[in-house]
Amino acid sequence: MTATPRPGTPAAAAAQHRVPGRRPPAPPAPARHRPPPAPAEKDRTVSNVRMAVTLEEAPWLGWILVKALMRFAFMVANNLVAISSYICYVIVLQPLRLLDSKRFWYIEGIMYKWLLGMVASWGWYAGYTVMEWGEDIKAVSKDEAVMLVNHQATGDVCTLMMCLQDKGLVVAQMMWLMDHIFKYTNFGIVSLIHGDFFIRQDSAWQVSNSKSKGLQWIIDTTIAYPKAEPIDIQTWILGYRKPVVTHVHYRIFPIKDIPLETDNLADWLYQRFIEKEDLLSHFYETGAFPPPKGQEEAVSREMTLSNTWIFLIQSFAFLSGYMWYNVFQYFYHCLF
């Protein structure tokens, strides 16, 4: 007796497709799952990927290294010729200081501005530029003022040197307040000649003691870096970081509105730094500083340096270094 499958059942469907004289196809083998790679094999895979990425980036990293070494060599040479020439010129001009001190300090200020312009140029040619926000401080550039800055890194000083280059003779007449340890750096002797302050006191003491000497404004300066990543002096010199736009915000306060008493002055300063934090929070959230009161939109100004001017002051520095080298060599041969 032969069993006939009931129509509509799986067995009946199989019987309809069965060919006489041919064995039915074997059922498909169950899927085999490959076991996960062993930790050692996984580590080798990740290592190979990293090695491939590193090999692809090797030419770029090599160029960054070569460029950094070239920039460092230029910076050393720039310091040697510029600072040495500045000192020599100041020594030679001492008779003028006795005869006409105003003219002497004017010339010294111009040379001081050129020195700071050279430092600014190191960052400028690395692509580290500045965008300015808030009030235009050119309006008070001829008055005595103190800049109150949220100091974050050593590159802040270089940023300010760049910002103030296009503000007339501000850089020539400005004086830095810095920690006494900077007196022993390569730029310390220049600061000593120029009359910069090496302090151990707090800033409140300095402001209260400057108010009676013609001080007219407090310029509240807030520096913001993209992604809150400050630039240090090593980056400014070596230029190994990608181009960055640093944002600087200004607010101007008349000195007559600043309290004189120590406690009130300290409270006033604390309030300014609280407001700085609010400004920075707004910048990091929106990418821009908030508009001034009474305005709907904040306006930024791009700060630029003249490449021609940079070339001229650098040429003057190296030519002066060459000249003073020959002068000293002449006197050396005459004496010995």
pLDDT in tens, 221-259: 999 998 888 888 888 888 888 899 999 999 999 988 888
Distance (Å, whole) CA 109 – CA 193: 11
Per DSSP (E only), the strands in the chain are 128-134, 145-149, 177-179, 197-199, 217-224, 244-254, 301-303
Mean pLDDT to the nearest integer, 131-152: 88
Distance (Å, whole) CA 11 – CA 9: 5
pLDDT digits (tens, 9 = 90+) for 87-99: 999 999 999 999 9
Mean pLDDT to the nearest integer, 155-182: 84
Mean pLDDT to the nearest integer, 282-290: 90
pLDDT digits (tens, 9 = 90+) for 52-85: 446 666 777 777 888 889 999 999 999 999 999 9
With beta carbons less than 8 A apart as the criterion, state whether 131 and 222 touch.
Answer: no
**For residues 207-217, b (16+ Cβ closer than 10 Å) or e, as one string?**
beeebeeebeb
Record the pTM: 0.74
Q: What length does the chain have?
A: 336
Residue keyed to tokens 């400028």: 124
In DSSP notation, 237-257 reads HH--SPPEEEEEEEEEEEGGG
